C-alpha cells in the first residue's frame, strides 16, 4: 500500500462539529427568509430537514452534504418569486460569518500533521470564499495547500473532481491521499478518486452508514495522527 503523503478534508462535520455550527446558521437563515412568520420558518425548516425547536437536522437533510444551490432548491419551493442567485449569495454571506465550533483543537492537530510533511487540502460543498474564511478564523488557514468549494470549478462531492484536483495540484497520486469526511458523499468521492477513506462521527451520519465506505471510522479527526502512524507501521 502506498505511503500516505496527503490528506484532503471535508469541512462541516469534519473540521467543525456539524450540529453545533450549522444549527445557528439555519436559525438565522430560516428566520430571515420567513420574514417573521413562525409558521413559514417551520415550513422552510422541514423542507431542509431542520427542526427549529430542537436545533437538530434529520440524517437526510440537504444541508449536510448539499451545495448552497442544492439547498436553495428545497427552500424556493416555499418562496414564490424569490431569486435563486440572490438566495445563494445570501446563504453564502451568512455562512461566512457563522461561528464555527471546532470538532477538536485544530491548531494543535494541524501542527502535528504538518510536521509529518503531509500535503493538506480541503474539499467542501460550501462555497470557496466562506470556506477559506472559516479556516482563517479557526487559525488553520496557513496549513492548507489547497481549498476547493462547490464553486471552484472542480465539481462537488460525491463527484471525485475536487479530490483529484487536490492530488494533481500537489503532485500526488490518488493512492497516496486519504479523504477524511463525515458523510457518505465524502466517502463515495474518495472511493471514486481511488483514495483511502476515513470517516469521522462529528457529523450527523452514524457509524453503520459510513463503515461500508470507509477504511476506518474514527470518533473525530483528533485520532488521525495515531491512525496514520499505524498505517506506516503496517507498511514496514
Of the residues 40, 63, 97, which one is the last residue of a structural domain?
Answer: 97
The span from the CA of 41 to the CA of 34, in Å, is 5
The DSSP code sequence of 134-180 is HHHHTT-GGG-SEEE-TTSSS--TTSSHHHHHHHHHTT--GGGEEEE
Which residues are paired to 196 by β-bridges?
178
| 81-94 per-position pLDDT tens digit | 999 999 999 999 99
How many CB atoms neighbour CB 76 within 10 A?
15
SS3 of 12, please?
strand
Of the residues 54, 69, 97, which one is the last residue of a structural domain?
Answer: 97
Among the listed residues 145, 214, 224, the one whose alpha carbon sits nearest the alpha carbon of residue 185: 214
The span from the CA of 73 to the CA of 59, in Å, is 18
Question: How many independent structural domains does the chain possess?
Answer: 2
User: What pLDDT was estimated at residue 199?
Assistant: 98
Task: Count the alpha carbons within 13 Å of 162 in the hemisphere toward its beta carbon.
Answer: 32
Residue 164 lies in a domain: yes
User: What pLDDT was estimated at residue 234?
Assistant: 81
User: What pLDDT was estimated at residue 59?
Assistant: 87
Whichever domain contains 172, its CATH number is 3.40.50.1000
Whether residues 12 and 24 share a domain: the answer is no
Per the structure, the complete domain to which residue 163 belongs is given by 6-17+102-235
* Per-block mean pLDDT, blocks of 10 residues, the chain (236 long): 94 94 92 94 97 93 91 96 95 89 97 96 94 96 97 97 98 98 97 98 94 98 96 80
Whether residues 109 and 43 share a domain: the answer is no
Of the residues 41, 63, 97, which one is the last residue of a structural domain?
Answer: 97
Whether residues 207 and 166 share a domain: the answer is yes
The span from the CA of 105 to the CA of 168, in Å, is 29
Amino acid at each position: 500500500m502506498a505511503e500516505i503523503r496527503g490528506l484532503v478534508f471535508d469541512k462541516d462535520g469534519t473540521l467543525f462539529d456539524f450540529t453545533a455550527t450549522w444549527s445557528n446558521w439555519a436559525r438565522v437563515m430560516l428566520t430571515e427568509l420567513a420574514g417573521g412568520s413562525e409558521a413559514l420558518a417551520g415550513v422552510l425548516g422541514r423542507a431542509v430537514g431542520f427542526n427549529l425547536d430542537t436545533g437538530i437536522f434529520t440524517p437526510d437533510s440537504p444541508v449536510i452534504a448539499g451545495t448552497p444551490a442544492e439547498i436553495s432548491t428545497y427552500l424556493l419551493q416555499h418562496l414564490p418569486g424569490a431569486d435563486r442567485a440572490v438566495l445563494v449569495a445570501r446563504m453564502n454571506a451568512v455562512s461566512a460569518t457563522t461561528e464555527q465550533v471546532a470538532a477538536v483543537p485544530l491548531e494543535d492537530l494541524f501542527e502535528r500533521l504538518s510536521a509529518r510533511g503531509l500535503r493538506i487540502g480541503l474539499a467542501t460543498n460550501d462555497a470557496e470564499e466562506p470556506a477559506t474564511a472559516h479556516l482563517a478564523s479557526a487559525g488553520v488557514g496557513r496549513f492548507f495547500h489547497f481549498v476547493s468549494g462547490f464553486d471552484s470549478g472542480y465539481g462537488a462531492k460525491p463527484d471525485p473532481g475536487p479530490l483529484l484536483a487536490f492530488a494533481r495540484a500537489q503532485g500526488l497520486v490518488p493512492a497516496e491521499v486519504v479523504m477524511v469526511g463525515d458523510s457518505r458523499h465524502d466517502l463515495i468521492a474518495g472511493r471514486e478518486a481511488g483514495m483511502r477513506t476515513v470517516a469521522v462521527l462529528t457529523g450527523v451520519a452514524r457509524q453503520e452508514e459510513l463503515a461500508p465506505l470507509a477504511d476506518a471510522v474514527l470518533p473525530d479527526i483528533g485520532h488521525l495522527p495515531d491512525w496514520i502512524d499505524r498505517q506506516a507501521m503496517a507498511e514496514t
